Amino acid sequence: MKIIYLAIGASVLILTVWNLWTEKDWRKQATAAMVAVPLLLRVLLIK
């Protein structure tokens, strides 16, 4: 079950980072960065 949780988190993180790099509007980039940080911490299992 933990592997599935990490796989889902990693896939959402990858999509968020991809959106961060392809987005031109700085506000949307900032939002994507704020979403990516907690996702990264969850994938690395840091609470």
Domain count, the chain: 1
Enclosing domain of residue 37: 2-43
Q: How far apart are CA 47 and CA 21, in angstroms?
A: 26
- Tokens, residue 8: 């889902």
End-to-end Cα, the chain, rounded Å: 18
pTM attached to this predicted model? 0.86
Q: Which pLDDT belongs to residue 41?
A: 96
pLDDT band, residue 29 (cuts 50/70/90):
very high
Q: Which pLDDT belongs to residue 47?
A: 75
Q: Of 11, 14, 17, 47, which is closest to residue 32 (Cα–Cα)?
A: 17
